[in-house]
């Protein structure tokens, strides 16, 4: 089984791909609403329920319990960013209902979401996660692995492959338009 910190770090790679796709949608006028909804579904199911679920339910509580004051402050900041990200996703989804405001509202919130998540991922990958590799003992790593497995089971088997395939399809379609 994989190191749990490595697992959440690797999940950032697909999330960054989808952030790139969302940025592409920001720049293109003729994106199908169905495709936007599929990308927002990825952010809701994979990035939030699966990835953030692992962090919020299992990883961050260990950090809060075990680590230094600045790490606890960083976790509070990251949790706040998760909430702000949910708000931007909700606003993007709502913007799809109103044709007159769609481009402006969607673009504004897509841009905010992409910037927020890129900074968020950098904080985790470059500050928090490297520290976690050193401060977690084997018992805690095993507890995280079990917790992460529960999250994976809850979000559905094959979710990683599903969204890899979807990314390939959408990227192939829209990278030509740019």
Number of H helices, E strands in the chain: 9, 0
pLDDT at 125 over 90: yes
- Cα separation, 33 vs 151, in Å, equals 29
- Please give the class, per CATH, of domain 4-174: mainly alpha
Contacts of 137 (CB under 8 A, 6+ apart): none
Say what the pTM is.
0.93
Domain ranges of the chain: 4-174
Neighbours of 128 (CB within 10 A): 21
For 49-102, the pLDDT digits (tens) are: 999 999 999 999 998 887 777 788 999 999 999 999 999 999 999 998 876 667
For 8-55, the pLDDT digits (tens) are: 999 999 999 999 999 999 998 889 999 999 999 999 999 999 999 999
- Residue 58's pLDDT is 96
Structure tokens at 24: 């592409």
């Amino acid at each position: 089984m994989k190191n749990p910190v490595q697992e959440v770090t690797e999940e950032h790679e697909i999330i960054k791909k989808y952030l790139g796709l969302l940025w592409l949608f920001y720049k293109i006028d003729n994106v199908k609403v169905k495709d936007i909804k599929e990308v927002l579904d990825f952010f809701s199911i994979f990035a939030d329920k699966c990835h953030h679920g692992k962090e919020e339910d299992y990883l961050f509580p260990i950090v809060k319990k075990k680590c230094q004051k600045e790490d606890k402050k960083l976790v509070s900041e990251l949790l706040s960013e998760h909430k702000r990200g949910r708000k931007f996703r909700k606003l993007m989804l709502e913007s799809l209902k109103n044709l007159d405001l769609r481009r402006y509202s969607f673009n504004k919130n897509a841009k905010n979401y992409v910037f927020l998540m890129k900074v968020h991922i950098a904080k985790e990958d470059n500050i928090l996660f490297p520290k976690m590799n050193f401060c977690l003992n084997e018992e805690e790593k095993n507890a995280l692995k079990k917790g992460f497995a529960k999250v994976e089971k809850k979000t559905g088997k094959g979710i990683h492959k599903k969204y890899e395939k979807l990314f390939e399809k959408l990227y192939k379609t829209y990278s030509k338009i740019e």
